[in-house]
Amino acid sequence: MLTRKQHELVCFINDRLEETGVSPSFEEMKEALALKSKSGVHRLISALEERQFIRRLPNRARALEVLRMPERGEKKPAAPATAPTERAVTFENFKPAPTPANDVVEIPLHGRIAAGVPIEAFEGSSMLAVPAALLGSGEHYALEVSGDSMVEAGILDGDYALIRRTETARDGEIVVALIEECEATLKYFRREGAMVRLDPANRSYDPQRYPPSHVRVQGKLAGLLRRYD
């Protein structure tokens, strides 16, 4: 079962591979599907990977392989006139897809995030190879940790924080919090009366308190990667 956008994307990737032998960039896919951001492309690619229509080749940031295609004779479903969600369509008679031979997946690496004083978070186009066993269900991305305010939680400067996308969190969870739509930080999330409190895991740092309207959760910590030089 594919949505209209998923159908359009797998066809676009396949056509580009047949024409040039090179996968389209995320920017090209965003423009081709008239999406507002590249995060929408990441979600569609993850969904197509789960359904085994495509896979990302390891150690190559832009390399996509089409494993199977919906039948070209099927019509793409039209966008619904008033419903806000996409209409799903089922395609039959697929050939079985081969199982990927490795257990490494690539997730977007979106720059550095502060584990101390908040710093500006920025979106990048690079990818990070991650053991699939470290990730659960859902969509994930990675951030490189900068600072030492979470050391008592075992999160060190230079670690890669693996984040599952979500907009909600419970007290005591470690989250990526976007502050006033411009700065992001990695902290424990807690509610304190009418305020949101972001707690460090380092006695040298003080908690940060903000009105709820000034803080937006962008994900929860799912795992860590650490390099040993």
Task: In whole angstroms, give the CA distance from residue 80 to residue 190.
Answer: 40
Task: In whole angstroms, give the CA distance from residue 129 to residue 142.
Answer: 10
DSSP string, the chain: -EEHHHHHHHHHHHHHHHHHSSPPPHHHHHHHTT-SSHHHHHHHHHHHHHTTSEEEPTT-TT-EEE-----TTSPPPPPPSS-SSPPEE----PPPPPPPS--EEEEEEEEEEESSS-B------EEEEEEGGG--SS-EEEEEEESSTTGGGT--TTPEEEEE--S---TT-EEEEEETTTEEEEEEEEEETTEEEEE-SSTTS--EEE-GGGEEEEEEEEEEE----
For the segment 208-222, the average pLDDT, to the nearest whole number, is 92
Say what percent of the chain tops pLDDT 90.
Answer: 26
Q: What CATH number has the domain bearing residue 208?
A: 2.10.109.10
Of 16-30, 57-71, 137-151, 167-181, which gets the smallest average pLDDT? 57-71
Tell me the per-residue pLDDT of 102-127, one tens digit each, with 9 for 90 and over.
478 888 888 778 765 554 454 555 88
Same domain, 67 and 110: no
Q: 36, 149, 204, 213: which is the annotated catalytic residue?
A: 149
For the segment 216-226, the average pLDDT, to the nearest whole number, is 91
Domain with 119 in it? 105-225
Tell me the per-residue pLDDT of 40-52, one tens digit each, with 9 for 90 and over.
787 788 778 777 8
Task: In whole angstroms, give the CA distance from residue 155 to residue 225.
Answer: 10
Yes or no: say if 37 and 26 are a contact pair by the CB < 8 Å rule: no
Q: What CATH number has the domain bearing residue 31?
A: 1.10.10.10
Interhelix angle for 38-50 vs 4-20, to 10°? 90
CA-to-CA separations, 77 to 27, 81, 88, in angstroms, rounded: 24, 12, 8
pLDDT value of residue 200: 93
Q: 187, 204, 213, 220: which is the annotated catalytic residue?
A: 187
Same domain, 167 and 208: yes
Is 38 catalytic? The answer is no
Is 25 catalytic? The answer is no
pTM of the predicted model as reported, rounded to 2 decimal places: 0.54
pLDDT value of residue 21: 77
Residue 48 domain flag: yes
The residue out of 31, 53, 72 marking a domain boundary is 72
Same domain, 216 and 113: yes
pLDDT class for 23, splitting at 50, 70, 90? confident
Task: In whole angstroms, give the CA distance from residue 154 to residue 20.
Answer: 46
